[in-house]
């Protein structure tokens, strides 16, 4: 799977766990995948939500 901000590939570890994070917009059940780099660049969830 790919990061939804930088489009880089996100590594999967095991049992569908990923390096990075999965966030959901309020009121939506659609998951958004983000790599650890983008997570670091935007430590606040609100900032991440604006980018996706
Ligand atoms: Zn990214």
pLDDT tens-digit profile of 6-50? 999 998 888 778 899 999 999 999 999 999 999 999 999 899 999
* CA–centroid distance, residue 52 to ligand 1 (Å): 10
21, 51 Cβ separation under 8 angstroms: no
* CA–centroid distance, residue 7 to ligand 1 (Å): 6
Predicted pLDDT at 47: 92
* CA–centroid distance, residue 27 to ligand 1 (Å): 23
Q: Which two tokens stand for residue 36?
A: 């650890």
* CA–centroid distance, residue 24 to ligand 1 (Å): 16
The C-alpha atoms of residue 51 and residue 15 are separated, in whole angstroms, by 27
Predicted pLDDT at 18: 85
Instruction: Using alpha carbons, select from 1, 28, 29 the residue that is nearest to residue 20.
Output: 1
Distance, first Cα to last Cα, the chain: 15
- What is the rounded radius of gyration, in angstroms, for the C-alpha atoms of the chain? 10
């Amino acid at each position: 799977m790919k990061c939804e901000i930088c489009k880089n590939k996100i590594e999967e570890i095991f049992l569908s766990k990923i390096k990075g994070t999965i966030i959901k917009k309020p009121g939506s059940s659609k998951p958004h995948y983000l790599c650890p780099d983008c997570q670091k660049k935007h430590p606040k969830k609100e900032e991440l939500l604006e980018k996706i």
